[in-house]
Structure 1
Amino acid sequence: MWTVPKPKYRTGLCAEGEIAVNIGGVRVVLFGEVLNRYPESRLAELLNCSTQNHEVISSLCDDFDPCRKEFYFDRDPEAFKCIIDVYYFGEIHIKPGICPICFIKEMEFWKIDQNVLDECCKSCLSEKEEELTEIANKVKVILEDLEVDECITRTQRCQRFLWRLMEKPGSSLPARIIAIASFLSVLVSAVVMCVGTIPELQVTDAEGKLVEHPVLEGIETACMLWFTAEYFLRLASSPNKLHFALSFMNVIDFMAIMPFYVVLSLTYLGTTSMMELTNVQQAVQALRIMRIARVFKLARHSSGLQTLTYALKKSLKELGLLLMYMGVGIFVFSALAYTMEQSHPETLFRSIPHSFWWAIITMTTVGYGDIYPKTTLGKCNAAVSFLCGVIAIALPIHPIINNFVVFYNKQKVLETAAKHEVELMELKSGKDARRESTSSLSK
């Protein structure tokens, strides 16, 4: 519906100081004094230009009826209803059902500045622009996978083939096999790392210390050799090696490989005497613990884990609120518990910092049981603390889950849109090729 005051719909001639426009079959008469509020807009230029200057008129509108003094525009009348609001109210709201990107093109056509958009519409527009950028990036990736350039050198062709083989599991059957082998290697390596700590499966070395079983150590070495070869092949085939090396997931890959070779060099490459030093032994143990970083390599092969990571990034505000709630609750209830339990001779709460552990496991409903209240007031405080903990944890859970679902569905829609865009491009290129061949045959 038009807002008040609304433009005039009539079939007669417009009066002095008015302008008649026909927007896609909808005739509207507008007041000149209203249009002059934005003198640089297209409608204001039409109002102020001479009806005898046909060249200027033809550049500003699609057609002109000199008898009725009516300007015709082959534009969307629904979008024009939003455009006309700027002359009356100084701002524009995009109606539901109108594409924000298409509406921006309408604003550019009518020469209306984007600053008059309402803030809510600007946020919607920025979101749509981000989606289009993501679709364009996905289309670019798909086209790069399908691209076959005959002019590149043999070295570049081999590099591209190797990059697709290591980074694009869907490009061919060998690439899919390599991706599955890499995934299984991560799982096997993680299982071997866990099983190797079982005392019954360990063996005694010459110094009487328990070490990993040689079979497990051999499997671990084979997995690390595979990870090393995979990393360097991907690095060698990468189009941008600096970006590859600084990428978060590739840094994790490097951190998962590096400890193995550091420990190997300290153990077997002439530094055995140094291994007796306590600091060196602790460093080696820390490097061995860093092997757990290879578990994060699974994220490279799992779109679900990647979606979870992005969803958590989008939910940083909710996670911050959760930590704030829990932090305040832990401080308050640990201080109350310490104060209330001091009257008991066998109290387990020796200090407020020592009580933080009790507050954490109570508010998270874990209930480890190593520290517990013994007084009546302390037990009441514990009951209130875990009830507050349940509420504090439950409040931000729904927004986090909702962000995950929204992001996951959005990625699916964007991937589908990118594939449809590529199909349309292929269809259009096929039509152009057939048109060219038909024209050449006719000649």
Structure 2
Amino acid sequence: MAAYFFISLRGTEFSTSSASARDFMDNLTRDGRAERKPDGSYFVDRNPAIFHHVLDYLSGRTFHLPKGVCAIEAREEMEFWRIPLDALPKCCYEVLYDDNLSSYEAIENMEERLNVGISPQEGKCSPNSKLQKIRETFNKAVMEPRSSLLGKIWLLLVVTCTLTAVVCFLLNMHSEFRVPREHIPVVSNNATYNVFLSNPKRMMLMLQTVPMERTILETISNVFLTVDLFFRFIITHKKKAFILNTYNIVELIASVFSFVVLYFDKHPEVIRNNKTLDKIILIFGGLYTLRVLKLLRIAETTSEMKILKLCFHKSWKIIALLLMVFTIFSVIFGSAMFWAEFDNADTFPNVFISIWWAVVTITTVGYGDHYPKSPFGYIMASLTALFGLLLIAMPIAALSSNFSTFYNCYTYKKKYTEAKKKYRENSSACCIDK
């Protein structure tokens, strides 16, 4: 058995016979971060709180972090003793990431939900099969677009087509960016006046159309985004989960009605004599507007957006409590204002208008369409405004705290993943060299 030697950390002595630990201490001595005494022992000016676990790692055993250790201190000690993040088992994430284990697992579950149906299913195909390799390549490009050239190119195309489709939608809804129709359709049963001429917005849709150049550009963008949706469906191993995903359903509806609206814009005679023309326009227009939600997919490629979604998901109880309290006190203050202004015939004609005023005041919007004119009304308005400030401050503080917590956890999780990947690459390279 090898001879023991001693290591002193600020007066606390440790003894070990590990040869690898001795080699490591010699390297620290050469680097000037440790001192070797004449009797063969070593002195290091570091906190001895977790050095027992460091010796376990230097001796070839698993490195663990004890609970109750500051996360910042733990990371500093790991850096000093050159312990890679890959050496830390999952049971110690709670200490390293300065958050409870459920927060770390919540981030992993959130990423799984965001990539629902995209990740490859292990064990279904032979790892050496060409189909499996192709699927893994596309899966990686979809899940982590910034990690490969293919993913970056595909993300650039998706972003370009999404922005093009949204900009075209916005331009199509403005009369200055539309052109006069060559043949204005005739609508029977006085629908021309009742539906269109009485409303300049509907009259714009009847008298003007989208320029052909923009129609072609928008069609190309919509086709690509639809192909992207079906492509993600093809490569998924969880097709049922993909189909039932709410965002995918909304994206499919937006894609379908984009083509429907473009068709009706070029062929208005199809619905000109329909008795439910007014409702059809509103329904199709609302579904056509869903395309702007595609901007969320671009935002979800950033870690900050993922953290924000997780923050809202984690804070749903606080938000639900806020809505409940907000509704209750809107009714209370609105009803009180109605009676405070009861003798003024010019203000707050009914209690629902008063509740609307309370909603606007508590949220600090203050449209000014309704306001009190009596002394009691002024007092009630002041109390409502002050309560609104206090009510809004509570959820903002809670959301900010959760966002900061999850951001730190997500940041170190990302560093851990990168370090683990680099560690595996270096290990593979060493095996190849051997």
Give the TM bin, normalised by the shorter chain. 0.5 to 0.7
- Contact 1:365 1:389 survives alignment (8 Å): yes
How far apart, in 2, do the equivalents of 1:245 and 1:222 lie? 24
Q: Secondary structure at the residue paired with 1:226?
A: helix
Of 211-220 and 267-276, more deviation after overlay is shown by 267-276
Please tell me the residue identity of whatever aligns with 1:127: N
Partner of 2:207: 210
* Structure 2 residue aligned with 1:230: 228
> Which of 95, 100, 119 matches 1:127?
100
Instruction: Write the deviation string for residues 144-183 of structure 1: whole angstroms up to 9, x where unpaired.
Output: 8xxxx99633344333333344443123223212212211
The change in CA–CA distance for 1:237 and 1:134 in structure 2 (over 3 A counts) is same
1:90-131: per-residue Cα shift (whole Å, max 9, x none)? xxxx851299xxxxxxxxxxxxxxxxxxxxx9xx99933763
Range with bigger deviation, 149-158 or 409-418: 149-158
Number of the residue aligned with 1:294: 294
Query: Bigger relative contact order, structure 1 or 2, given CA contacts below 8 A and separation 6+?
Result: 2
Q: What residue in structure 2 maps to residue 201 of structure 1?
A: 177
Q: Which residue in 2 is equivalent to 1:341? A: 341
CA 1:195/1:266 → structure 2, altered by over 3 Å: closer, same or farther? closer
- Tell me which residue corresponds to 2:363: 364
In structure 2, relative to structure 1, the CA distance for the partners of 1:312 and 1:129 (3 Å cut) is closer
Structure 2 Cα separation of the partners of residues 370 and 136 of structure 1: 46
Q: TM-score, normalised by structure 2?
A: 0.63
2:397 pairs with 1:398:
yes
Q: 2:102, 2:364 → 1: CA distance?
A: 44
Between the two proteins, what is the percent identity of the paired residues? Answer: 23
The 5 Å alignment of 1:140-219 reads 152-205=128-181, 206-207=183-184, 209-214=206-211, 215-219=213-217
Q: Aligned pair in 2 of structure 1 residues 321, 353: CA closer, same or farther (>3 Å)? A: same
**Which one has a bigger Cα radius of gyration?**
1
Q: Flag the 1:357–1:212 CA change in 2: closer, same or farther, 3 A.
A: farther
Give the secondary structure class of the aligned counterpart of 2:145.
Answer: coil
In 2, Cα distance between equivalents of 1:231 and 1:261: 15
- In structure 2, the residue corresponding to 1:374 is in which secondary structure? coil
CA RMSD of aligned residues (A): 3.9
CA shift at 1:78, angstroms?
8.5
Q: 2:383 — aligned with what?
A: 384
**Change beyond 3 A, Cα 1:98–1:317:** same
Work out which of the residue numbers 179, 194, 219 in structure 2 matches 1:221.
219
Is residue 2:352 matched to residue 1:353? Answer: yes
1:246-270 Cα offsets, whole Å, 9 max, x none, are 3344334223212224446777899
Aligned match of 1:411: 410
Could you report, residue by residue, the CA deviation over 1:271-311 in whole angstroms, capped at 9, with x for unpaired residues? 92576332433432332233333232223333222221111
Structure 2 residue runs without a partner (length 5+): 1-13, 16-49, 54-65, 72-93, 186-205
Q: Which one-letter code corresponds to 2:418 in the other structure?
A: K
Which residue is equivalent to 2:69? Answer: 97
Q: 2:155, 2:106 → 1: CA distance? A: 28
| Separation in 2, partners of 1:194, 1:273 | 23
From the superposition, tell whether residues 231 and 203 of structure 1 become closer, same or farther in structure 2 (CA, over 3 Å).
Answer: same
- How far off its partner does 1:188 sit? 2.4
Q: Quick check: 2:307–2:403 contact (8 Å CA) kept in 1?
A: yes
- Measure, in 2, the Cα distance between the counterparts of 1:369 and 1:129: 46
Distance 1:327 1:333 in 2: 10
SS of corresponding position for 1:301:
coil
Structure 1 gaps of 5+ residues are: 1-23, 26-75, 80-93, 100-120, 438-443
Structure 1 155/418 Cα, relative in aligned 2: closer, same or farther at 3 Å? closer
Return the match for 2:244 from 232, 243, 246.
246
Q: Secondary structure at the match of 2:343?
A: coil
Any residues of structure 2 matched to 1:45-84 within 5 Å, and which?
none
Counterpart residue identity of residue 302, structure 1? T
Label 1:276 to 1:202 Cα distance change in 2 as closer, same or farther (>3 A): farther
Report the alpha carbon displacement of residue 241 of structure 1 after superposing the two structures with TM.
2.6
Query: Cα 1:276–1:218, aligned 2, differ >3 Å: closer, same or farther?
Result: farther
Residues 235 and 241 of structure 1 are in contact (CA less than 8 Å); yes or no, is this contact kept in structure 2?
yes
Match of residue 190 from structure 2: none
